Amino acid sequence: MGAQMAESPYRGMSKEQLADKMLELGGGTAPGPTHLQGVLQVRCVSDLETALKSLEESQRKSATASDNLANRVFWLNVVLTVATVVGTVIAFLTFLRAP
C-alpha cells in the first residue's frame, strides 16, 4: 500500500478524445493504447451505469404517475356510473308520472 498509483494523463479527456488518441497511437496494436482502451471502457461503462440509473428513475416516476392516473380514472368511472343511474331513475320516474 506504500506505492501510490500515478494519475492518468488521460483523466480530463472525453471518450471521443480517448478514441482519437488510441487511433493515433496505433489503434490498439501497440502496447500504449491498451491503457487507453481500459480508460475508454471504464468511461463507457460508467456512462452506461449513469444512463441505466436515469432510466430506472424515469420508470419509477412513470409507474407512480400511471398508478395515480388509473386511480383517478377509476373514481371518475364511479362518479359517472352514479350520475347515469341517478339520471336514469329521474327519467323513469318522470315517464311514470306523465299524464
pLDDT in tens, 48-97: 999 999 999 999 999 999 999 999 999 999 999 999 999 999 999 999 98
pLDDT in tens, 34-45: 766 777 788 888
The grid cell for 90 is 329521474
CA–CA distances in Å: residue 19 to residues 9, 29, 30, 34 = 14, 14, 14, 11
The grid cell for 42 is 471504464
Please tell me the pTM assigned to this model: 0.51
b/e 11-49 (16+ beta carbons within 10 angstroms → b) = eebeeeebbebbeebeeeeeeebeebeebbeeeeeeeee
CA–CA distances in Å: residue 44 to residues 19, 49, 50, 56 = 11, 9, 10, 18
Residue type, 23: L
Per-residue confidence (pLDDT) for residue 9, from 0 to 100: 73
Higher-pLDDT residue of 81, 18: 81
